[in-house]
Structure 1
């Protein structure tokens, strides 16, 4: 969500200030990790004179990461909304969805459909229906986002 004016030369621009803050926290934590690494390496035997900087760097990193996660959740993630129509259109235009059809129409048909979709700019579903490779109902079920994003067990392989 917008948190500040975006640009003086680009009207309507929204800067991702909260993710940028989280990036800055990550940069600091990386630096602190380097400090801890050098300090731990420089310690002799079991007496490490650099334990204060190790503790300071660790505690500072944990504190900043904790606060960064809270800010990211409250001021960014909670305000993100999905443009369902645009997302659905992107999925429908994606040639990659042909992979989900492979078990149903076979590799050869899936390859041909992908090639035609790529060459013509048409959607995979449109081509599959046009060729009669699946019914509209079966295709709609296979291409539901819930089905596409659900982990699926692979068939057991025979061991020789």
Structure 2
């Protein structure tokens, strides 16, 4: 029993690590080169479709008891968001109405506001993924000036 418990803990940690997001170390120059669109815009709508489906499925399959919680980090779900571009720096084609963000390497949008957004065409699906930074980020202070 003394050997089995540490072994089970090790296996559980390994499995948890296999599903964790990795840190993206892609240089900014490469992100700029690969982007289909680069623009400054306002996020005007966020649709947490996957999060909504997760909540519905959870409640339908096993309703919570009073006082019970099952927290989820909102940044770990994929969502679509709509933007209003105000200044465009790179544009290969029309900027899409909705852009996908969230999950591991997508844009982490924290509510509506002004962002610097880069989009990338999905290779195996319709739509665009994205990276985004607050326009207040000091790294980008000279953009649009």
- Determine if the TM-score, normalized by the shorter chain, exceeds 0.5: no
With the shorter chain as reference, the TM-score category is under 0.3
> Of the two structures, which has the highest relative contact order with CA contacts closer than 8 Å and spacing of 6 or more?
2
Answer with 1 or 2: which has the greater Rg. 1
Looking at secondary structure, tell me which structure has more strand per residue. Answer: 2
Looking at secondary structure, tell me which structure has more helix per residue. Answer: 1
TM-score relative to the length of structure 2 = 0.22
